Amino acid sequence: MTADIRTPLLAELDRWQANGRIACFWLRDDDAVKPTEPLDRLMDLTRRYAVPATLAVIPECTGQELANYLQDKPMASVAVHGWSHKNHAGENEKKQELGAHRPIEDVIAEIDGGFKHLQALYPQQFTPVLVPPWNRIAAPMLAELPGLGYRALSVFGPEKAGPLPVINTHVDLMDWHGTRRARAHSELASDIARRLRQMFETGGTMGLLAHHLVHDEQAWAFLDALFEITTQHPACRWKSLPDMLGQR
């Protein structure tokens, strides 16, 4: 399995090294609300390889239990994952919590409340970044975010210019529209290599999206292999979201 991903990844990272450049990777994991065995596994894995992890935490569903759990995990940071991760879209629409289905005042009040709730729970690890559930947010909401204290937005796919910086994820571990299990390792490696080729020309980061609560063994195995390969390569750096925002 490791050979399936090593060849395309090393081909690109070796090219970066030959040109004296460093590729920046970062890890975002969505839907944390409380300590669980899968979260333990993620934290153990990232600690082993010294990979920073940003947990997109659902504010309404979390409290002091998770805050206490993360106190001794300085490489974990916390971003705001909407408010309740509740879908307000219609039956035949793509799921959205932060869409145009409710008065904008109601939506803004929720993401303001989510910011304040997590900021109070995580004074050291809180990162003022909004991660919209399902990676979707209505355009009118974006202009309101800086006034609430948000310093960046993180969704999935190519970054688009907006009223505040965008730090996206680009490769998702999971096959949401098919098996709902981990994607094939060779496919994931190919997507990461493709992103690295884009970055070589245009800059940017390689954001990996994980969902610890639904990982199967194939997902965990891919993370382990990816971390092993990339953390040993001189042309790769795993960065924290706070570092990218200049918080630390």
- 182 exposed, middle or buried (CB, 10 Å; 0-12, 13-18, 19+)? buried
Alpha-carbon distance of 97 to 86, in angstroms, equals 6
* Residue 67: C-alpha distances to residues 73, 89, 124, 126 (Å): 10, 31, 10, 10
* Residue 6: C-alpha distances to residues 11, 28, 148, 185, 226 (Å): 8, 22, 43, 10, 8
Q: What total of structural domains would you count in the chain?
A: 1
Tens digits of pLDDT across the chain (248 residues):
455 799 999 999 999 999 999 999 999 999 999 999 999 999 999 999 999 999 999 999 999 999 999 999 999 999 999 999 988 877 788 889 888 889 899 999 999 999 999 999 999 999 999 999 999 999 999 999 999 999 999 999 999 988 999 999 999 999 998 899 999 999 999 999 999 999 999 999 999 999 999 999 999 999 999 999 999 999 999 999 999 998 54
Q: Which amino acid is at 122?
A: Y
**Upper half-sphere CA count for residue 178 (Cβ side, 13 Å):** 7
Pick the closest to residue 122 from 234, 29, 32 (CA basis).
32
Alpha-carbon distance of 64 to 132, in angstroms, equals 22
pLDDT of residue 91: 78
Alpha-carbon distance of 108 to 105, in angstroms, equals 5
Q: Write the CB contacts of 202 (distance below 8 Å, at least 6 apart in sequence).
A: none
Write out the residue range of the structural domain in which residue 181 sits: 2-245
In this structure, what CATH number is given to the domain that contains residue 104? 3.20.20.370
Number of H helices, E strands in the chain: 9, 8
- Strands 171-172, 152-153: pairing is unpaired
Alpha-carbon distance of 39 to 225, in angstroms, equals 18
98: helix, coil or strand? strand
Alpha-carbon distance of 117 to 177, in angstroms, equals 32
Tokens representing 102 are: 């409710």
Q: What is the largest CA-CA distance in the chain?
A: 53
Tokens representing 158 are: 């190519």
Q: Which residues pair with 32 in a beta bridge?
A: 57
7: helix, coil or strand? helix
pLDDT of residue 3: 56
- 97 exposed, middle or buried (CB, 10 Å; 0-12, 13-18, 19+)? buried
